[in-house]
Structure 1
Amino acid sequence: MHGLVIDNSIVMSWCFADEANQYDDDVLESLKYIRAIVPCIWPLEVGNVLVVAERKGRLKHIDSIKFWELLSELPIDVEQELSEKMIRNIFILAREAQLSTYDASYLELAIRKDLPLAT
């Protein structure tokens, strides 16, 4: 059973020391006790941040690989399905909350699963 939905901004703070804060560290610590779930776009978002960081010289390729390995060891499940109904709900949430559809996908998942959203 899942305990929370984790937004990608939280996850990426674990990769970059200058973005770390106590809240994000506490979310990571909580994964010792609960499982998290993320929407199906999450691996693409993580990958994009890592690739851009490499291009900007902020991260070495080997560090990206190590971070992926770290993430694969954490109890984070990627939702594998994206139905038409979910897409419609994501669009509605994005419009109403003035979010990107990417951010709204995390909110939609949290609402649908009745889980807290760490963001």
Structure 2
Amino acid sequence: MLLVIDVSVMASWHFSDEFRVESHSLLDSLERQIRAVRVPGIWWFEIRQMLLKGERRRRATQLQTEQFLLFLRVLPIALVEDLDADAVLVLARRHQLSFYDAAYLELALRDNIALATLDQALARAAASEGVPLIAA
């Protein structure tokens, strides 16, 4: 089963203070290859930004960041580079989202697949657009 997962969910996999049972259940399904993930091309930049912020706030060490990045590489995550930037911009404007968050929504809409997010604004936008949400 394919789905889109945003960085907010992945942060809960890495930072202990953001631990959520639902997010880790989702991670378990990825590790067992039950699910596969599609993410927009900006994902590698966004995930690294989140990890770098965590280091700067002393929530993780550089070694923990490097280990997490290696871990992510073995998960069934497919990078999608051919997003419709105009459609992303329309969604960002319509739902008051960042361009980055709207990219996840556009991908889920275009591929007609579910979205997992902990971001409330993105979840509301997805629900408004009829995108199925996965509890994370």
Q: Same fold (TM over 0.5)?
A: yes
In the TM superposition, residue 80 of structure 1 has moved relative to its aligned partner by 2.6
- The higher relative CO (CA closer than 8 Å, separation ≥ 6) is in 1
The alignment yields a C-alpha RMSD, in angstroms, of 1.1
CA deviation after TM superposition for structure 1 residue 30, in Å? 2.1
- The sequence identity of aligned pairs, in percent, is 40
Give TM-score scaled by structure 2 length.
0.80
> How far apart are the structure 2 equivalents of 1:93 and 1:26?
29
- State the Cα distance separating 1:43 from its structure 2 match: 0.5
Secondary structure of residue in 2 paired with 1:11: helix
Q: Secondary structure at the match of 2:92?
A: helix
* Post-superposition CA distance 1:39-66 (Å, at most 9, x none): 0010001100111111222211100000
The amino acid across from 1:68 in the alignment is L
Secondary structure (helix, strand or coil) at the match of 1:58 reads: coil
Deviation beyond 3 Å, 4+ runs, structure 1: none
Q: TM-score, normalised by structure 1?
A: 0.91
Which residue of 90, 96, 99 corresponds with 2:97? 99
Give the deviation of 1:81 after TM superposition.
2.7
Partner of 1:17 in structure 2?
Answer: 16
SS in 2 for 1:57: coil
Give, as a single letter, the amino acid of the residue that structure 2 aligns with 1:56: R
